[in-house]
Amino acid sequence: MKEVTRRVPADEPPPLPENAKLKSIGKPVSRLDGIEKVTGRARYTFDVQLPGMLWGKWVTSPLPHARIKSIDTSAAERAPGVRAVHVLERVLSTAQLRDPKAEKGNRYPTVRYAGQPIAAIAADNPRAAEAAARLIKVEYEPQAHVTGIEEAMKENAPRVFPGPTEQPATAGGGGAPPGLPQKGNVRGPDTKPRGVGPRGDVAQGFRESEVVVEAEYRTQVQTHVPMEPHGIVADWRDEGLTLYASTQYLGSVRDEAAEHFDLPKSKVRVISDFTGGGFGAKYGIGNFGLLAIHLSRKARAPVRMILDRRDEHVSGGHRPNSIQRLKLGAKRDGTLVALQLQAYGSGGVAGGAGVGFAHSTLYDCPNVHVEQYDVFTNTGPCAAFRAPGQVQGMFGLEQAVDELAEKLGMDPLTLREKIDISGTDDCLARAHERRVGAERFGWSKRRPAGSDKGAIKRGMGVAQSQWLYLVHRNAACEVRVMGDGSVEAFSGTQDIGTGTRTILAQVVAEEFGLRPEEVGSHIGDSRYPGGPASGGSRVTSSLTPAARNAAWRCARELATRLAPVLDANADDIVFAGGKVMVKGKASTAMPFREAVKKARFQEISHRAERRDDYEGYMAVTPDMSISRHGIGGVQFAEVEVDTETGIVKVVRMVAVHDCGRPINPKLTESQIFGGVIQGVSYALYEERHLDAASGHQLNANVDQYKIVGSREVPNIEVILLEQLGAQSSTDARGVAEPANVATAAAVANAFYNATGKRIRTLPMTPANVL
């Protein structure tokens, strides 16, 4: 791969050599906290127990749309064991949303989906809380509701939000800007996904096209199903508020709690030792968090509010569904001439159901017009979900490209070679990934569509993946070297399961010539320097440069302090193999701790931040910037379809992804395994089923909401493409989201190759494929 050159700022360390020359970075170290996790010693929010802690239980609406006339909590308040009752005066559509303005005049928020929280109880034990919750009497004035996307789009459909001012902002991560026009339940169009506007003239483009493919694709609602549901333990004291949170971003929990309760941020502390998954739905305080804080303040005791599985499915967030009408026009030689997309998606009571930005950015095409619409329905709010938008959008786009290749009589890889957006290092990465992946996968053995004559048919497919290289601006880390030789790193970030503590330790250890387990790696406390959000695939690319820069500064100061001890120049002192020595003089080697003790100091500490003030970054929000480089990959799938039963099995996948520098190849690969597995699950099984009459989800539990099981996981081979010089002092980029983007499309293309039949509706259940 071509290396990208970067000017190194004076206060940053020199570029790292390739991983082969390093001792800690780039090694497949097992999670340092792995034993704690698998033995159950790791404390998740679900496990937090505090002296005098009360159990919270919320009450939700059984109706999908209603005005609340009255709420009587008196019986509940008198019930045994009850310590506090609170009625929610406003409802956050998702963690990131503010209450709609029009609710101001009403005493109670309007109910807009079945399962919407209304009030909550704090009691001495869970049984008392549940019993009391049943004693809260709510008088409803039911209103007409609509839960299906197509029904909601009809002219005479019941209105989910009567007026535009009530409609919520974007939550799904689709990127729709505020202030779009709306008609009925439909808001839009957003014609500039991620700020990329239309170009050229599509009508003219289609007139010039020699080959056109046109189809409608549909994707389902997928719920997040993290292992640990959403939850908070709130402890309100006069001296300040402490929140134990299952979260993707400590900072968002602190800031929203401070804002809602009018507290200075310094009075809110958020602790998260471990978070059992999030996938995009775990930001901010949430309705359960608001309720827990209110109850803790009233009861003057810590209150635990953890969603149960039903609530997790219904109100914890989901990936919006979509109806995508897509049209591609090309010349006989494969040159793309026109691309048109009209996409509708529903995120229930939240917006942001766009199907991504790949249509405007992945391929070279002079005429592009994209329209994305939000359709509001009386169902729970969507939330960002692992590469929001791109996963749905690529299912359509990458099948359309496959279809175009077939019409043109071209290999799908050759067509992509031709139409890939040119002149970027992303395009070089994709070309490399296609080559390496095709070789490993055995793409040359792919046969024409529908070659197998029996009932069981095999086929091969490919699809590309694209995501943004995001940076958490000014993500900070502090490194300390104590006088006894211990080294510790601190960052107010969290681990959603990816192994954040481990990579932090690896990067710091490298600068001191230590082993990762010799570095204290501290995260999960908002009192540490503000670290990155675990979202947007940005922890590794944001945290590791800050950590390396801080460690490098400490190591330089340490060398200065050790110079007199070793009778050498600071510049000649090296840290390697757990020892300190003078360059080229092995006889001077001294164990690290021993040497530090001889230097006789109390503590050295430095703090550094993730720099993004050099060329190639664009700040998009106060805490996020986007690099001009992207991240992505190519995935190959082989499927086996039983055409008698309609059962689709993904036999194997090869996933080739770029990652900048893999800080820990084992954890990097693990993210890609996870992305592919979640992608297979989305492609074949997952789907929210609603009862239109009552608005209730019928499969709101893990025994009814089918996700992929271990026997259904294909054989997955991951190949990492290392790119050095990629815009930071560690060269790390993310992989988590792109790993999930191409899978469903690759599987669908393989299905076509097996059967000669296009699958345009997800999931690929027997009902949808036969």
Residues binding ligand MOS (CB under 6 A): 173, 248, 280, 384-386, 388, 535-537, 737
CB-wise, 135 or 355, nearer to ligand MOS?
Answer: 355
CB-wise, 443 or 469, nearer to ligand MOS?
Answer: 469
Q: How far is the CB of 523 from ligand MOS (least distance, A)?
A: 17
Nearest to 655, CA basis, from 567, 747, 530, 561: 747
Q: Give ∠ CA 510-545-13 in degrees, rounded to 5.
A: 65
CB-wise, 205 or 226, nearer to ligand MOS?
Answer: 226
Decide the pairing of beta strands 647-658 and 715-721.
parallel
Which positions ≥6 away from 445 have C-beta within 8 Å? 460
- Asked if 86 and 119 count as a contact pair (C-beta separation under 8 A), the reply is yes
- Asked if 380 and 348 count as a contact pair (C-beta separation under 8 A), the reply is yes
Angle in degrees, 0-180, between the axes of helices 539-566 and 500-512, rounded to the nearest 10 = 30
Q: How far is the CB of 423 from ligand MOS (least distance, A)?
A: 28
56/294 Cα distance (integer angstroms):
11
* Residue ranges of E strands in 610-686: 617-621, 624-642, 647-658
Residue-wise DSSP of 234-258: EEEETTEEEEEE--S-HHHHHHHHH
Q: How far is the CB of 278 from ligand MOS (least distance, A)?
A: 6
Give the position of tokens 């290396």: 3
Q: Is 270 left (phi over 0), alpha (psi -120 to 50) or beta?
A: beta
* Residue ranges of E strands in 127-210: 137-142, 182-183, 186-190
CB-wise, 311 or 737, nearer to ligand MOS?
Answer: 737
CB-wise, 112 or 472, nearer to ligand MOS?
Answer: 472
Amino acid at 621: T
Q: How far is the CB of 289 from ligand MOS (least distance, A)?
A: 17
Q: How far is the CB of 496 from ligand MOS (least distance, A)?
A: 8
CB-wise, 316 or 535, nearer to ligand MOS?
Answer: 535
Amino acid at 311: D
CB-wise, 236 or 385, nearer to ligand MOS?
Answer: 385
Q: How far is the CB of 747 from ligand MOS (least distance, A)?
A: 21
- Asked if 364 and 422 count as a contact pair (C-beta separation under 8 A), the reply is yes
CB-wise, 55 or 283, nearer to ligand MOS?
Answer: 283
Alpha helices (runs of H) in 95-154, residue ranges in sequence order: 126-133, 149-153
Q: The tokens of 662 are what?
A: 């893999």
CB-wise, 473 or 696, nearer to ligand MOS?
Answer: 473
Q: Which residues pair with 303 in a beta bridge?
A: 54, 234
CB-wise, 247 or 526, nearer to ligand MOS?
Answer: 247
Give the position of tokens 């010539």: 513
- Asked if 627 and 425 count as a contact pair (C-beta separation under 8 A), the reply is no
CB-wise, 251 or 280, nearer to ligand MOS?
Answer: 280
Q: How far is the CB of 226 from ligand MOS (least distance, A)?
A: 11
CB-wise, 261 or 673, nearer to ligand MOS?
Answer: 673
Q: How many helices (H) and strands (E) does the chain have?
A: 19, 29
Q: How far is the CB of 388 from ligand MOS (least distance, A)?
A: 5
Q: Which residues pair with 492 in a beta bridge?
A: 530
Which positions ≥6 away from 10 have C-beta within 8 Å? none
Is 70 buried (19+), middle (13-18) or exposed (0-12) by CB count in 10 A?
exposed
Q: How far is the CB of 540 from ligand MOS (least distance, A)?
A: 12
- Asked if 104 and 73 count as a contact pair (C-beta separation under 8 A), the reply is no
Q: Is the bond preceding 62 in cis, omega lying within 30 degrees of 0?
A: no
Which positions ≥6 away from 630 have C-beta within 8 Å? 424, 426, 466, 467, 468, 469
Nearest to 316, CA basis, from 120, 93, 126: 93
CB-wise, 388 or 499, nearer to ligand MOS?
Answer: 388
- Asked if 179 and 301 count as a contact pair (C-beta separation under 8 A), the reply is no
Q: How far is the CB of 143 from ligand MOS (least distance, A)?
A: 32
CB-wise, 485 or 535, nearer to ligand MOS?
Answer: 535
Q: How far is the CB of 629 from ligand MOS (least distance, A)?
A: 18
Three-state DSSP at 71 gives: strand
Q: How far is the CB of 310 from ligand MOS (least distance, A)?
A: 23
294/521 Cα distance (integer angstroms):
33
- Asked if 592 and 464 count as a contact pair (C-beta separation under 8 A), the reply is no
CB-wise, 363 or 682, nearer to ligand MOS?
Answer: 682
- Asked if 625 and 473 count as a contact pair (C-beta separation under 8 A), the reply is yes
Q: How far is the CB of 173 from ligand MOS (least distance, A)?
A: 6
Q: How far is the CB of 669 from ligand MOS (least distance, A)?
A: 18
In this structure, the chain runs to a length of 770
Q: How far is the CB of 677 from ligand MOS (least distance, A)?
A: 16
CB-wise, 116 or 248, nearer to ligand MOS?
Answer: 248
CB-wise, 219 or 588, nearer to ligand MOS?
Answer: 219
CB-wise, 330 or 735, nearer to ligand MOS?
Answer: 735
Q: How far is the CB of 387 from ligand MOS (least distance, A)?
A: 7
Q: How far is the CB of 538 from ligand MOS (least distance, A)?
A: 8
Q: How far is the CB of 532 from ligand MOS (least distance, A)?
A: 11
Amino acid at 254: R
746/402 Cα distance (integer angstroms):
10
- Asked if 231 and 257 count as a contact pair (C-beta separation under 8 A), the reply is no
354/342 Cα distance (integer angstroms):
10
Give the position of tokens 């640990």: 228
Q: The tokens of 553 are what?
A: 């500064």
